[in-house]
Every structure is written in structure tokens, then in C-alpha cells.
């Protein structure tokens, strides 16, 4: 019998990718959201849909009836994550989201770790391109190491045309930071007042991308997911300068194939260092929003199959066998480990 997986924010950009991936993987998507008209249009192929709002706990409880798991694709996650997690805990079903918001992910770990573990429900935040993929890659690069001095995650995006959800989430994060920047250094998350523009430097990506200008201190959700379970006191993320410029221009992504993917390509270059030894893992693929769908759906599949290493709130690299997880996504992501 097909398992039912609720998708909150199913008619959003990433939600549509997730619903499609679920069907292709043999699950039955249960479409959830606030806009009944958009849900009806998406459900025209025969899928069940239910109207629910993050601000209405009763509607969430009704919407999750009969669901085996829920994937939250509706940002800003500062507003939706906690209500959906609460509903998942009441229903006793796993929760996965695709949040890239640093503060929202930190809230999930801070407020729900004990409760989720007590009831035996898996809660996996940031199971997406930012936060989830980086964590899986760093965990894979670590291999048999139990600690490292530094982890560097460089994002080489050919472009970055943000969705409306990305822009809304960015606005919320900036408001919460009150003009401050954020980084993970000295074993803790640090908010600070930066002067001038973010520092620029060159990063030597593997061929064919090669040397590219990147912004340092362009901090992403990996600074929450990685140090949550790995003893690495310095976690730094970088973004290709061209992609950051695109993000500021705020032009929406445009589909170029039958899957709805944009022409955007990505290379994620991860380097971990312990003493004088460095280990490196590189991943590449197409469309950061589309790739979040197989990441989230594979996470749900493994949780429902009991292929997990821990319970409660956990990041991707903590709850799953990271190298095996990445191998399972070989049709979507090319991963090349380089150690030495």
C-alpha cells in the first residue's frame, strides 16, 4: 500500500518538485496549503488536497489525518516550522522541511529536540540544498575523523534566480538579525556588526568550473546543521559572486526543461581540515530548488523504512548514513570524494 506524505506549501515552487518526486518514488502526496484554488488546480490529476494554515492548529491536525509523514515546503519557516512540527508531534509522524533560514533551523533544534526524542518522532530540518546537502558532504568528507579544525563549504552557482519564498525568508532573517551578520566561529554561532561589503576572494573549484570569485562570510544554514553533530569549531560558507549579484536582482527562476528545472547549475566544494590533513568532497548538479525534492523525499523514505541512526531532531548527516544517502541520489547529484 502506498504511503501518504503530506506536502505543506504544495503549490509553491519547491513544493511542486517535492509532490512530483513523491509520486515518482511511489508515495501518495497529500497536498496542503492555505489557498484552496491553487490546491485544486494542482490536485486536478486526482490527488487529495486539504486547506490548512500554520496559524490554525485545528486545520493542521485535520490535514495530517491519514498522513505517514509531512514535508514542509512553505516559507518563511520562522512562521511555519514550529506549528507544523507541533502538529507532527501530535499526530506522531515524521517531519522534514527544506528551510534554509539559519534562525528557523536553530529554533527547531533549540525548542523541539527533547520533545521529539521523548515521543520517538524524527524531525529533520534543512533537508534541502542549503543545510542538508552541505551537511551530508561534510559528514562524508570527515569519514573516520571524530573531529576537525575547520570545514569550508563553497557554493559555485552559475546563477541564482530566487523564488518568492526565498526572498520572503531572506527578509525575515534580516529583520531578526537587526542589521547584524552571522558566522560560526570558536565553536559557537556569533552575530556581529560588519563593516563594508562582504570580503571577496578567489576559490579554486574543480574543473570545469575552475577559479571563481566568491563572497566570504556569506553564511548559510550549514553553520547550524554541521556543528550540531560534528566537532568542528570553524564552519565557513562561501557564495560565488555572480550568484550573489543575481540574488540581489531578484529575478524569478525560469523553467528550461520538462521537469520544470531552470538552467542553473551548481558545484558544492567541501574541504575539511584536521591539522595538516585536508579532505575534500565535490558535488554537482542542476537547479538548487529542484534538487531539494529528492533530498527531502529520500529522507522521508529512509525514516519510514527505519534507516536512521538516531531519533528526535537531527540534521541530515547525523540521522542518515551520509555516503550511502548521497549514492542513492546519484541520478540527481554527481559526488566525487577526494582525500589527502
Asked whether 273 and 145 are in contact (CB, 8 A), the reply is: no
Same domain (yes/no): 53, 181: no
Helices (H), the chain: 13-24, 36-42, 57-63, 77-91, 102-119, 134-142, 164-177, 222-229, 241-249, 288-304, 316-319, 322-328
Asked whether the CA dihedral 291, 102, 177, 53 is positive or negative, the reply is positive
Q: Which residues pair with 277 in a beta bridge?
A: 274
Helix, strand, coil % over all residues of the chain, rounded to 5: 40, 25, 35
Same domain (yes/no): 182, 70: no
Residue 103 lies in a domain: yes
pLDDT given for residue 338 in this prediction: 56
Same domain (yes/no): 201, 264: yes
The pLDDT tens digits of the residues spanning 195-223 come to 889 999 999 999 889 999 999 999 999 99
Residue 52 lies in a domain: yes
Same domain (yes/no): 162, 190: yes
Instruction: Phi first, then psi: give them for residue 307, nearest 5 degrees.
Output: -95, 65
The pLDDT tens digits of the residues spanning 47-93 come to 999 999 999 999 999 999 999 999 999 999 999 999 999 999 999 99
The pLDDT tens digits of the residues spanning 211-263 come to 999 999 999 999 999 999 999 999 999 999 999 999 999 999 999 999 999 99
The domain total for the chain is 2
Range of the domain at 217: 129-287+331-339
Same domain (yes/no): 137, 268: yes
Same domain (yes/no): 140, 276: yes
Same domain (yes/no): 239, 225: yes
Same domain (yes/no): 69, 152: no
Same domain (yes/no): 220, 299: no
| pTM beyond cutoff 0.85 | yes
Amino acid at each position: 500500500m502506498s504511503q501518504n506524505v503530506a506536502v505543506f506549501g504544495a503549490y509553491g515552487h519547491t513544493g511542486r518538485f517535492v509532490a512530483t518526486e513523491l509520486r515518482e518514488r511511489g508515495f501518495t502526496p497529500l497536498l496542503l496549503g492555505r489557498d484552496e484554488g491553487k490546491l485544486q488546480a494542482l490536485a486536478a490529476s486526482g490527488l487529495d488536497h486539504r486547506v490548512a494554515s500554520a496559524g490554525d492548529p485545528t486545520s493542521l491536525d485535520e490535514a495530517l489525518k491519514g498522513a505517514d509523514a509531512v514535508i514542509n515546503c512553505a516559507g518563511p519557516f520562522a512562521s511555519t516550522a514550529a506549528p507544523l512540527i507541533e502538529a507532527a508531534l501530535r499526530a506522531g509522524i515524521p517531519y522534514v522541511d527544506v528551510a534554509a533560514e539559519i534562525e528557523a533551523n536553530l529554533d527547531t533544534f533549540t525548542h523541539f529536540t527533547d520533545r521529539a526524542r521523548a515521543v520517538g518522532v524524527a524531525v529533520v530540518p534543512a533537508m534541502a540544498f542549503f543545510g542538508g546537502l552541505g551537511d551530508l558532504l561534510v559528514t562524508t568528507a570527515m569519514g573516520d575523523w571524530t573531529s576537525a579544525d575547520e570545514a569550508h563549504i563553497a557554493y559555485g552557482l552559475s546563477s541564482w534566480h530566487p523564488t518568492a519564498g526565498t526572498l520572503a525568508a531572506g527578509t525575515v532573517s534580516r529583520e531578526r538579525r537587526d542589521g547584524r551578520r552571522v558566522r560560526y566561529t570558536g565553536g559557537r554561532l556569533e552575530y556581529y556588526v560588519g563593516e563594508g561589503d562582504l570580503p571577496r576572494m578567489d576559490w579554486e573549484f574543480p574543473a570545469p568550473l575552475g577559479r571563481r570569485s566568491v563572497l566570504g562570510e556569506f553564511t548559510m544554514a550549514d553553520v547550524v546543521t554541521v556543528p550540531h553533530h560534528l566537532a568542528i569549531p570553524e564552519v565557513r560558507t562561501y557564495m560565488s559572486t555572480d550568484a550573489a549579484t543575481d540574488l540581489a536582482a531578484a529575478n524569478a527562476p525560469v523553467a528550461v526543461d520538462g521537469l520544470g528545472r531552470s538552467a542553473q547549475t551548481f558545484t558544492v566544494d567541501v574541504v575539511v581540515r584536521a591539522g595538516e590533513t585536508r579532505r575534500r568532497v565535490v558535488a554537482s548538479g542542476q537547479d538548487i530548488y529542484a534538487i531539494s525534492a529528492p533530498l527531502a523525499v529520500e529522507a522521508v523514505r529512509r525514516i519510514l523504512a527505519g534507516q536512521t541512526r538516531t531519533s528526535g531532531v537531527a540534521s541530515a548527516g547525523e540521522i542518515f548514513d551520509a555516503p550511502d544517502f548521497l549514492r542513492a541520489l546519484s541520478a540527481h547529484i554527481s559526488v566525487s570524494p577526494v582525500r589527502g
